[in-house]
């Protein structure tokens, strides 16, 4: 059970093997996706036709590599654009919420908190259609009453950003609240006592304390937005973000250019992950609590 309790070697070995098998299960699809990015075949499937870099660099039809596949590249740009907006919005609102829920005292706080975490238990597809239906109703209303065409309320990137923001804000709120809860309020009092204004105290003491959580929440929200499919699917217009573009290609059956793209995404997020881990480790050694 735990190392201090003796166990038979057989049981230990069996347990270890199970865990190892689990990690094989975890890794298998990812490894396969990566390996087939180099398969010199028109389809991401067996048999293995020898290695090639065509799916990265190729520019002759049908061997169009990811660096020359403009539709996919544009969708990467669209996703990054959406993800940046969602990150900025959800971090700002999430920070406000964290202060409000951790520090504020007002009637109905518990009820409001329940509503604020409810997007976590609303399936993404439903969040998508409800925002679609509502924004459409608003757009129709505005058009009927004022005769204005509010196109941004029709399916498109604006709605995609709102839809993703609606549930990612819950996550940033939870992450930042958790860190703020650990904040020793006397640090702020000490700052006031040393002559800082309230604003200064928050700017020089509280925000630096929250920094690891802010960075972590930013990475998480960027990734969640970048990878989001369910909510986006319902709200997307003519500019397809990456997940939607890839989904369409997958359904049609695609060349291994998708593998190449996936591998690149994995490498980028892997680097991001390592960076965030190292950033935190460095901080720990410096000794922030």
Partner 1 sequence: MADQFDLECRDVVKNFGQFTAVDQVSLTIPQGSFFSILGPSGCGKTTLLRMLAGFLEPSGGDILIKGKSVLGVAPNRRPVNMVFQHLALFPMMNVADNVAYGLRRRGVDRATIKSRVSETLARVGLPDAGPKQINQLSGGQKQRIAIARCLVLEPAVLLLDEPLGALDLKLREHMKVELKQLQHEIGTTFVYITHDQSEALVMSDQVAVMNAGRFEQVGTPQELYYRPQTPFVAGFVGESNRWQGRIETIADGRATIRLQSGGVIYAAADQFGMSGQTVGQEVDVFVRPEAISLERQGQGTTNEPGLNHMQGRVENLLFNGAASSVQLKELATGHDMNVALPQTGAFADIRPGDILDLGWKADQTKCFPAVATKAASQTDEAIA
Partner 2 sequence: MSTPNPTGSVAGNGLKLGVLLMATPLLLWLVLLVLLPHIDLLMVSLRERISYGKYEFSFVNYIEFFTEPLYWNTYVRTATMSILATALTLLIGFPVAYYIAKVMRGRAKNVLFLLCLIPFWVSELVRTFGWMILLRESGVVSHFLQWAGLVDGPVEMLYNDVTIMVGLVYTSMLFMVVPLVSVLDSLDDSLIEAGYDLGGNAFTVTRDIVIPHAMPGIASGCIVVFMLTLGNYLTPTLLGGKSSLWFTDQIYTQFITRFNWETGSAFGFLLLVLSSFIVWLGLKLSRQTLSDTVG
Q: Within 173-212, which residues bind partner 1 (CB under 8 A)?
A: 184, 186-187, 189-197, 200, 204-205, 208-209, 211
Say whether residue 105 binds partner 1 (CB under 8 A): no
Query: From CA 264, how far away is CA 173, in angstroms rounded?
Result: 30
Give the helix, strand, coil percentages of the chain, each rounded to 5: 75, 0, 20
Task: Kindly report the length of the chain.
Answer: 289
CA 58 to chain centroid: 30
Per-residue x/- mask for partner 2, residues 76 to 115, rule CB under 8 A?
----------------xx--xx-xx--xxxx---x-xxxx
Nearest distance from C-beta of residue 284 to partner 1, angstroms: 10
Element (H, E) at 64: strand 63-64
Give the residue, chosen from 42, 51, 187, 192, that forms a contact with partner 2 under the rule CB under 8 A. Answer: 192
252: enclosing H helix or E strand: helix 242-252
Establish if 174 lies at the interface with partner 2 (CB under 8 A).
yes
Q: Which is nearer to partner 2, 59 or 237 (CB)?
A: 237
Distance of closest approach, residue 184 Cβ to partner 1, in angstroms: 7
Residue 51, classed as helix, strand or coil, is strand
**What is the C-alpha to C-alpha distance for residues 266 and 69, in angstroms, rounded to an integer?**
18
Encoded one letter per residue, x for contact with partner 2 by CB under 8 A and - for no contact, window 247-276 reads x--xx------xx--x--xx--xx-xx---
Binding residues vs partner 1 (CB under 8 A): 184, 186-187, 189-197, 200, 204-205, 208-209, 211, 286-289
């Amino acid at each position: 059970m735990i190392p201090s309790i003796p166990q038979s070697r057989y049981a230990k070995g069996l347990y270890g093997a199970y865990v190892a098998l689990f990690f094989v299960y975890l890794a298998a699809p990812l490894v396969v996706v990566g390996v087939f990015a180099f398969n010199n075949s028109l389809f991401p499937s067996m048999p293995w036709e020898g290695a090639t870099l065509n799916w990265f660099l190729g520019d002759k039809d049908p061997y169009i590599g990811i660096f020359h596949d403009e539709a996919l590249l544009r969708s990467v740009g669209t996703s990054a654009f959406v993800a940046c907006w969602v990150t900025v919005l959800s971090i700002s609102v999430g920070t406000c919420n964290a202060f409000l829920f951790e520090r504020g005292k007002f009637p109905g706080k518990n009820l409001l908190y329940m509503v604020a975490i409810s997007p976590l238990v609303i399936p993404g597809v439903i969040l998508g259609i409800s925002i679609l239906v509502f924004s459409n109703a608003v757009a129709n209303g505005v058009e009927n009453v004022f005769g204005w065409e509010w196109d941004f309320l029709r399916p498109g990137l604006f709605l995609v950003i709102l839809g993703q923001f609606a549930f990612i804000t819950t996550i940033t709120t939870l992450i930042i609240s958790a860190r703020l809860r650990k904040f020793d309020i006397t640090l702020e009092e000490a700052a006031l006592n040393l002559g800082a204004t309230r604003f200064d105290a928050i700017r020089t003491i509280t925000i630096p304390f929250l920094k690891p959580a802010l960075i972590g929440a930013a990475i998480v929200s960027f990734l969640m937005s970048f990878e989001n499919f369910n909510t986006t699917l319902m709200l997307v217009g003519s500019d397809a973000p990456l997940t939607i573009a890839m989904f369409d290609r997958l359904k049609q059956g695609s060349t291994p250019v998708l593998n190449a793209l996936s591998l690149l995404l994995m490498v980028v997020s892997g680097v991001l992950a390592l960076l965030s881990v190292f950033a935190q480790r460095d901080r720990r050694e410096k000794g922030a609590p």
